[in-house]
């Protein structure tokens, strides 16, 4: 169990400095310069972590990815501990931990500084606490459980789905009486108090996170996404682990004591399927399934008098994890990244970590063609937060001003200080939108990437805009877009 966690940590740390910062990491760093109790697309935890890491170490990829790697290793160990809570011995704990350590989506999730990485960790910690609560029937465990849920909500509201699913699981099981204990209500109150600053921020900002959720739902929730959600689980979790987690689900269902976890999985799977959610939304609930699968495998091997066969399970999982590594972590040279959009869909996060310094250098080259007078009143406007965050990080070396954008939380930072009658370099904004502000909009380039690697920004138009006739304060409301 500990060896699996240590191996997972080593692999993640070895991969952490390769390529560059992800577009979301650039955005979190920008948010870190505007610390608040909430943002349009996430609560405050990850920007606060970015602020801390940047202040103590600096904006380096390996530094940003240290805590996610540690969270991943802890999740692996917690998976082994879940098997122990279910009565599993060393064999079950090892199988469960190795499964978590070799799951493709978990290897990818814990690579980046992201809400997803910490969300998976909190799901692991919450489900371990729930298992301990069920085993001991000691309602005092609701108090730390409420505290963990509260902190988890400061990372991502997605954990609320887990809480609701587990409550449904309890309500349909033999331990439903636990839900009505005084400690359960105390735990709920603690969670609410911890997350309340983020709720207040949202109330003061037009419930921005709810608007963001509606936008994401409209953008991603299609019939195709719903149809493909469950089949995708067989791939993203790891094909070599399918038998194990399905066995774990059956084991949890057959056990009256552990059935709330199985019900929770089924509720979440049904909800995310109907809502057309992204395939990784279920990632955190596989930890107890791995644990249940480990316990079932151990009992089966013992009943057949072949406990040594555990090596076959572990070998299969390790081989599956090794095969997945080039698809989940930046182990291959950047030159091997796909140039076509279709191939990049396998793991878009890898391509989202390359090309940012060269993009800013390209923008700087365009800025340097401007007369000194126009350069002194320059505005850099982007259509997405990744492009803006890259300029904010790498732009100072070229004496570029901070970027502005209408994307997500960047819009809330407003147009204050943006000079009117300015020259503006705009990236990934439609010409028609720019013509509502400027009389002259000229295409001066498009975003290029190293080795022509596909990224979401590759080929985005770069415009040089002059002869401004509408003030930024007047047009700013129309620039807002969530997604």
pLDDT on residue 342? 72
- Pick the closest to residue 379 from 393, 365, 356, 363 (CA basis): 363
CA 379 to chain centre: 31
pLDDT on residue 27? 98
Question: 207: left (phi > 0), else alpha (psi -120 to 50), else beta?
Answer: left
R_g of the chain, CA atoms, integer Å: 24
pLDDT on residue 310? 76
SS3 state of residue 341? helix
pLDDT on residue 220? 66
pLDDT on residue 73? 98
Q: Which regions in the chain score pLDDT beneath 70?
A: 220-221, 305-308, 343-344
SS3 state of residue 253? helix
* Domain segments of the chain as ranges: 2-16+65-331, 356-479
pLDDT on residue 307? 60
pLDDT on residue 343? 66
pLDDT on residue 277? 81
Q: Do 190 and 150 form a contact (C-beta atoms < 8 A)?
A: yes
């Amino acid at each position: 169990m500990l060896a699996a966690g240590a191996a997972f940590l080593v692999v993640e740390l070895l991969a952490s400095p390769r390529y560059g910062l992800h577009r979301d990491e650039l955005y979190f760093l920008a948010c870190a310069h505007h610390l608040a109790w909430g943002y349009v697309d996430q609560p405050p935890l990850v920007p606060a972590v970015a602020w801390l890491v940047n202040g103590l170490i600096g904006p380096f990829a390996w530094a940003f990815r240290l805590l996610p790697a540690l969270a991943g290793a802890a999740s692996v160990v917690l998976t082994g501990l879940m098997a122990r809570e279910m009565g599993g011995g060393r064999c079950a704990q090892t199988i469960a931990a190795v499964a978590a350590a070799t799951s493709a989506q978990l290897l990818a999730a814990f690579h980046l500084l992201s809400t997803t990485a910490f969300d998976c960790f909190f799901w692991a910690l919450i489900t371990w606490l729930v298992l301990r609560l069920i085993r001991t029937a000691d309602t005092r465990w609701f108090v730390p459980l409420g505290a963990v849920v509260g902190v988890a909500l400061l990372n991502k509201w997605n954990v609320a789905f887990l809480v609701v699913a587990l409550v449904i699981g309890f309500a349909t099981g033999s331990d439903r009486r636990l839900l009505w204990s005084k400690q359960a209500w105390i735990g709920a109150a603690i969670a609410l108090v911890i997350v309340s600053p983020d709720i207040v921020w949202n109330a003061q900002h037009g419930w921005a996170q709810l608007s963001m959720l509606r936008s994401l739902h409209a953008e991603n929730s299609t019939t195709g996404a719903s149809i493909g959600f469950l089949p995708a689980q067989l791939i993203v979790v790891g094909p070599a682990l399918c038998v194990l987690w399905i066995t774990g689900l059956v084991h949890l269902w057959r056990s009256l004591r552990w059935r709330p976890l199985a019900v929770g999985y089924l509720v979440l799977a049904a909800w995310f399927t109907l809502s057309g959610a992204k395939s990784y939304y279920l990632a955190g609930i596989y930890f107890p399934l791995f644990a249940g699968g480990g316990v079932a495998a151990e009992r089966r091997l013992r009943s057949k008098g072949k406990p040594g066969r555990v090596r076959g399970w572990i070998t299969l999982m390790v081989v599956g994890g090794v095969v997945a590594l080039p698809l989940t972590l930046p182990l291959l040279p950047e030159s091997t990244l796909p140039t076509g959009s279709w191939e990049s869909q396998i793991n878009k996060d890898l391509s989202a970590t390359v090309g940012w310094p060269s993009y800013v250098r390209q923008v700087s080259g365009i800025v340097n063609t401007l007369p000194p007078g126009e350069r002194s009143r320059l505005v850099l406007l982007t259509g997405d937060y990744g492009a803006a965050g890259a300029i904010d990080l790498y732009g100072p070396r070229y004496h570029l001003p901070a970027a502005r954008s209408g994307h997500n939380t960047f819009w809330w930072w407003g147009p204050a200080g943006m000079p009117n009658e300015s020259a503006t370099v705009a990236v990934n904004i439609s010409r028609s939108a720019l013509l509502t502000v400027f009389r002259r909009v000229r295409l001066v380039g498009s975003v290029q990437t190293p080795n022509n690697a596909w990224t979401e920004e590759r080929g985005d138009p770069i415009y040089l805009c002059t002869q401004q006739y509408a003030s930024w304060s007047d047009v700013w409301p129309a620039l807002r877009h969530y997604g």
